[in-house]
């Protein structure tokens, strides 16, 4: 035992001696994030974890999404749109360089979009850019993009991580050695542990306040709590609500609760009996006690939703009372639908807390009306194959984190299996409409149809709960798009 104590004592001396190195100096930050990205190239994978690290930090697009979800200029300093809405002409920022020193110009823009659209492209969101007909270099600082049909979402879509501008010289290695134009350049990636970024001094825009940023990967909530308390990390963008009370009364920390684009659903296989029966879906909707669910899963931080739409969006309409919690009515509806004694079904749960805990709560709520759910825990890859690709499921709980993704319901082959020609026509009209007032009317109509059809169980909007050192400011409170954007983050005294 004596040996052990000596080891601990030695270690303590080392900690004290090296304190300045171990704990972040005021121009450095260490951020805990739950998931490690598989690669660091946002154009080559769907994982949210990629954008968390590199979006707007290492890589930039023509446009950028700000923390309110609005489109702002980025590498394109300005643009004009032709009267027919088909031709976009972008004026590019001058004097921009990639982190390897090569310069940025219109050729890089053309290269990046051609790369997305190439037949062998592995971009996870090719469909957003499917309507791009051509990209033309007008002069080194002017690019013209022609669309096949007008799109109200185009400027937003090119601000996504999937459309960041990369250089032909370096794009092949971006997976492990990302090179972009952003305010931070990549330093090192200790696999399984952390990614280190440092300020890119020749950056074209306003320089970042932080000189160094380290993303530390901590998947376990207890470990994340310890890391925050011990000062091993200075903050995290998304902390699990269950342990939040640890930090509430602690003046060293501040808690930022913000919105995300994550509509959390009890996704339902609408093609499969008995879920093809509207009465069954209505019965399930009436059986869900959103209040208990939100308290149980998010400790009250989630915002209830009644349809597939983010509550902070200007087009949002509150439909949470379409089918209020009413177990008796549920039972009556089930009986009308021909299931007086209920039925059994499976509920597949991906490996996220909101699903695993939410699943248990839903199962207990459904048990009260006679629907017996068998909980099946699956890994993401299996979820993608079984549920998403092969539609082999009854029910599942998942959060749809894409902004403005109500259009998925117009795709009859989407995993919901929802095939409603009226809705499809409505979305077609919505996509072709650019007038804001008209778009809002159409969007509200779309939300209402989904709510009334009870296509899925609409549960809540996922919150983003940041826990940060109280002396850090400038971090995003909301998550309108995946990313932990560092350019405005700074320490205050």
DSSP track, 425-493: HHHHHHHH---HHHHHHHHHHHHHHHHHHT-SEEEEEEEEEEEEETTEE---SSBSSS----TT-EE--
Contact range with another protein by CB under 8 A, out of 264-272, 382-390, 456-464, 482-490: 382-390
Q: Which is nearer to another protein, 29 or 106 (CB)?
A: 29
SS3 label, residue 121: coil
**Residue from 66, 131, 198, 232 in contact with another protein (CB under 8 A):** 232
Helices and strands (H and E) in the chain: how many: 14, 19
**Residue from 381, 421, 422, 493 in contact with another protein (CB under 8 A):** 381
Q: Which is nearer to another protein, 90 or 253 (CB)?
A: 253
Site for another protein in 275-334 (CB under 8 A): 292-293, 295-296
The DSSP letter of residue 387 is: I
Per CB under 8 A, does 352 bind another protein?
A: no
* Backbone phi and psi for residue 54, each to the nearest 5 degrees, phi listed first: -105, -20
CA atoms within 13 A on the CB side of 175: 9
**Residue from 77, 220, 428, 435 in contact with another protein (CB under 8 A):** 220
Q: Which is nearer to another protein, 359 or 370 (CB)?
A: 359
Q: Which is nearer to another protein, 216 or 305 (CB)?
A: 216
Contact range with another protein by CB under 8 A, out of 63-71, 277-285, 330-338, 374-382: 374-382
Contact range with another protein by CB under 8 A, out of 274-282, 332-340, 350-358, 466-474: 350-358
Per CB under 8 A, does 8 bind another protein?
A: yes
Beta-strand runs (E) in 295-428: 303-304, 344-349, 372-377, 395-400
Per CB under 8 A, does 7 bind another protein?
A: yes
Q: Which is nearer to another protein, 23 or 343 (CB)?
A: 23
Report helix angle 353-367 to 278-287, nearest 10.
Answer: 100
Site string for another protein, 20-59 (x = CB under 8 A): -xx-------------x-xx-----xxx------------
* Backbone phi and psi for residue 165, each to the nearest 5 degrees, phi listed first: -90, 125
As a whole number of angstroms, the distance between CA 285 and CA 3 comes to 62
Output the smallest distance, CB 177 to another protein, in A.
Answer: 11
- If one counts every other C-beta atom within 10 angstroms of the C-beta of residue 252, the result is 12
Beta-strand runs (E) in 294-434: 303-304, 344-349, 372-377, 395-400
Site string for another protein, 180-219 (x = CB under 8 A): ----------xxxxx---------------------xxxx
Q: Which of 323, 293, 330 is nearest to 306 (CA)?
A: 323
**Residue from 68, 72, 80, 176 in contact with another protein (CB under 8 A):** 176
Per CB under 8 A, does 118 bind another protein?
A: no
Tokens of 422: 């009226």
Output the smallest distance, CB 354 to another protein, in A.
Answer: 13
């Amino acid at each position: 035992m004596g040996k052990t104590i000596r080891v601990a004592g030695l270690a303590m001396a080392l900690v004290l001696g090296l304190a300045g190195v171990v704990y972040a100096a005021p121009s450095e930050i260490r951020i805990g994030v739950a998931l490690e990205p598989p690669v660091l190239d946002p154009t080559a994978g769907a994982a949210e974890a990629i954008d968390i690290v590199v979006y707007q930090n290492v890589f930039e697009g023509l446009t950028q999404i700000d923390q309110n979800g609005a489109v702002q200029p980025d590498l394109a300093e300005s643009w004009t749109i032709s009267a027919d809405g088909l031709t976009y002409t972008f004026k590019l920022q001058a004097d921009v360089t990639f982190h390897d020193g090569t310069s940025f110009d219109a050729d890089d823009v053309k290269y990046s979009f051609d790369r997305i659209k190439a037949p062998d492209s592995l971009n996870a969101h090719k469909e957003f850019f499917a309507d791009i007909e051509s990209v033309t270099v007008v002069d080194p600082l002017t690019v013209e993009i022609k669309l096949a049909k007008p799109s109200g979402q185009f400027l937003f879509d090119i601000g996504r991580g999937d459309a960041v501008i990369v250089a032909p010289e370096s794009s092949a290695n971006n997976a492990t050695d990302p090179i972009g134009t952003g305010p931070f350049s990549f330093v090192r990636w200790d696999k399984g542990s952390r990614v280190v970024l440092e300020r890119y001094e020749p950056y074209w825009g306003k320089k970042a306040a932080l000189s160094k940023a380290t993303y530390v990967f901590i998947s376990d909530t207890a470990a994340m709590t310890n890391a925050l308390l011990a000062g091993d990390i200075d903050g995290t963008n998304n902390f699990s609500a269950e342990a939040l009370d640890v930090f509430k009364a602690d003046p060293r920390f501040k808690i930022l609760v913000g919105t995300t684009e994550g509509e959390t659903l009890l996704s339902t296989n609408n093609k499969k009996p008995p879920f093809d029966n509207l009465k069954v879906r209505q019965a399930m909707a009436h059986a869900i006690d959103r209040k208990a669910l939100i308290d149980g899963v998010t400790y009250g931080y989630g915002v209830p939703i009644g349809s597939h739409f983010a509550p902070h969006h200007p087009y949002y309409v509150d439909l949470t009372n379409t089918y209020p919690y009413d177990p008796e009515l549920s039972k009556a509806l089930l009986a009308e639908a021909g299931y007086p004694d209920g039925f059994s079904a499976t509920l597949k749960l991906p490996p996220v807390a909101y699903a695993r805990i939410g699943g248990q709560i839903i199962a207990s709520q459904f048990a009260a009306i006679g629907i017996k759910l068998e909980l099946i825990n699956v890994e993401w890859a299996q979820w993608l194959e079984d549920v998403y690709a092969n539609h082999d499921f009854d029910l599942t709980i998942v959060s749809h984190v894409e902004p403005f993704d109500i259009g998925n319901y117009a795709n009859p082959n989407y995993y919901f299996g929802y095939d409603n020609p009226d809705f499809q026509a409505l979305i077609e009209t919505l996509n072709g409409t650019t007038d804001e007032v008209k778009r809002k009317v159409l969007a509200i109509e779309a939300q209402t149809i989904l709510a009334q059809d009870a296509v899925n169980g609409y549960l809540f909007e996922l919150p983003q709960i940041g826990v940060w050192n109280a002396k850090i400011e400038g971090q995003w409170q909301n998550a309108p798009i995946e990313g932990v954007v560092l350019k405005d983050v700074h320490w205050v005294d």
